[in-house]
A and B are shown apart, each in its own frame.
Chain A
């Protein structure tokens, strides 16, 4: 048997649209913006065609997608592996719930909880920012566990029962399109920031070479704080939104699912970009919903899938699709 190897060549349209001539024909423009446009259209149209049950699933998918993007942003662009998704959700949800229970209307509660909650989360994580890699991951993972146990033990804010009877978002259309709109704005904003702004460059510097950042007379911790704040804003919004989706806040807002699923989404979707975690969340959450009939066995499927992706298919789905989209592949004889 002759030995073969796979040769990959860029498609013609990719080579042409990579350069300044991108705007020369409709076909090339569509090649560049097509995938993004498809995503936006899909997100905008899907709520109109699915059943009410799946509309709610979509809203929850949006929450997880936000958390995944927040995780992916910190991990891929700033180099902080933050497993504190549940902390963001919990803090955002509880703040918004408390303010709502005190009588403030939703339109004030949610934004206030988002920004104040993010500030609080950033302050909590501030002392651990010098830690690296696994240690930061461990500490940030412990925070939500600790917060949950503390609330259960002290009985603050309703203790294990939570605070029921909060206002819910007015109707399913507002609920869904709020999530989708925020998701799209955040995607656009973050991808502009990390790709075209100076601060994006600094963030990558923080990830790749801390000494270079210090040598440039930039304050390392300050940039890490900014990055954590940005990701906490996303997470706290997700939490506040979730609280008013259910009309209830409780200890389940600190559940480890919110910390673990973003990791799974990033692993499955593919790391290195913002869209990988998004894609992962868009696949995993509905899939897990569809497997609800299997009970706890679905967590087993989940875990096996996760291990499979980490060990055997590390590039993730997004990079795989991107390769198929941009390149030809064929076997050649060595």
Chain B
């Protein structure tokens, strides 16, 4: 029972961490390798606004989400737009930006365990005899609502559909009047906001540390690569697969192996099913 409940929590944690990346990379093929940096940046900004400038918590969250969205737009408009279509350059450039942000934060004083965000609600409750604190329940609810939003956004709204379009066939998209630069900017900005939301929901569970930025990036890559690109459903299934695998290894083998499992799963998926769990023919072509 414990495994099931904590597995679900863990899986939704992964979904939260990776959904922004999966939206930008999976749905519209813009690899935003600064994802982990944006995650930490939002957390740190919120912390600064809340505790250094004494803003109310809600306002601090809102402001830092807006700032991160602006950074996302700038990231695309200044950097990524110039290397669009060259996957390796896109990755190097965005990873460089992420590295710069993370290491700058580390240099400017984000060290040690002094930085914590307060949880929204403290306390815990019993679910099937398993104690679960409220923040973890918020993680589950947050994960589910982010997923629902994403499903609605990419299925029923025009901007959402245009994100899919530029990944599937950019030229056809242009013919139909989709400005691919605007769509891509939107994808990066929304991805950045999702990274921020994830940070605000997840960071109260622990300290804000720079290393987490790298970890988030690795998990995000793991989930979107395993899930197969273009399908956020694949990303969801992959999150559950990795999340449960991790929880099981942690409780049955040893906690050290929790990262190893994720890495091992990515390698296995790429070797045996290169198009990802839910990939289709076109994706197979570009991977193998």
Contacts and interface: CB of A to CB of B under 8 A. Distances in A.
Partners in one complex: yes
Interface of A: 81, 127-128, 130-135, 137-139, 142-143, 145-146, 149-150, 152-153, 263, 267, 295-297, 299-300, 302-304, 306-307, 310-312, 314
B205 to A, nearest CB: 22
Contacts of B107: 295-297, 300
B100 interface: yes
Given A297-B107, A307-B93, A311-B79, A131 B263 contact: no
Given A130-B274, A133-B286, A310-B83, A139 B266 contact: yes
Contacts of A153: 254, 256-257, 260
A303 B103 contact: yes
Contacts of B267: 128, 139, 142-143, 146
Contacts of B263: 142, 145-146, 149
Contacts of A145: 218, 259, 263
Interface in B210-232: 218, 221, 225
Given A137-B88, A146-B264, A132 B287 contact: yes
Q: Which DSSP category, helix, strand, loop or mixed, fits chain B's interface?
A: helix
Contacts of B288: 130-132
B82 interface: yes
B266 A138 contact: yes
A310 B33 CA distance: 14
B221 A138 contact: yes
Contacts of A302: 99
A81 B88 contact: yes
Interface residues of B, number: 36
Given A146-B260, A153-B257, A135 B103 contact: no
Which of A81, A304, A310 is packed against the most chain B CB atoms within 10 Å? A310
28 contacts: A81-B88, A127-B271, A131-B270, A131-B274, A132-B287, A133-B87, A133-B88, A134-B31, A134-B91, A135-B270, A137-B88, A145-B218, A146-B260, A149-B256, A296-B107, A297-B107, A300-B100, A300-B104, A303-B96, A303-B97, A303-B103, A304-B100, A306-B92, A307-B93, A307-B97, A310-B92, A310-B96, A311-B93
A296 B96 contact: no
Nearest to A302: B99
Given A135-B287, A137-B88, A263-B92, A142 B266 contact: yes
A307 B259 contact: no
B89 A131 contact: no
B24 to A, nearest CB: 14
Contacts of B89: 310-311, 314
Main SS of the interface on chain A?
A: helix
B100 A128 contact: no
B235 to A, nearest CB: 15
Contacts of B218: 142, 145
Contact of B83 (A137, A295, A303, A311): A311
Contacts of A139: 266-267, 270-271
Contacts of A132: 286-288
Contact of A131 (B100, B103, B287): B287
Contacts of B270: 128, 131, 135, 138-139
Given A131-B287, A146-B267, A307-B97, A296 B103 contact: yes
B106 interface: yes
Contacts of A299: 99-100, 103
A276 to B, nearest CB: 15
Interface string B73-109: 0000001001100011101110011011001101100
A310 B264 contact: no
Contacts of A295: 107
A128 B91 CA distance: 20
Given A135-B274, A153-B260, A263-B92, A311 B103 contact: no
A91 to B, nearest CB: 16
Contacts of A150: 260
A207 to B, nearest CB: 13
A248 B285 CA distance: 44
A80 B87 CA distance: 13
Contacts of A267: 92
Closest 3 CB pairs of A and B: A153-B256, A303-B100, A307-B96
Interface in B126-155: none
A302 B92 CA distance: 12
B256 A307 contact: no
A302 B88 CA distance: 18
Given A306-B99, A307-B79, 17 more contacts: A128-B270, A133-B88, A135-B225, A135-B270, A137-B91, A142-B266, A143-B267, A149-B259, A149-B260, A149-B263, A152-B256, A303-B103, A304-B100, A306-B92, A310-B93, A311-B83, A311-B93
Nearest to A271: B88
A321 B31 CA distance: 32
A260 to B, nearest CB: 8
Nearest to A142: B263
Contacts of B259: 145, 149
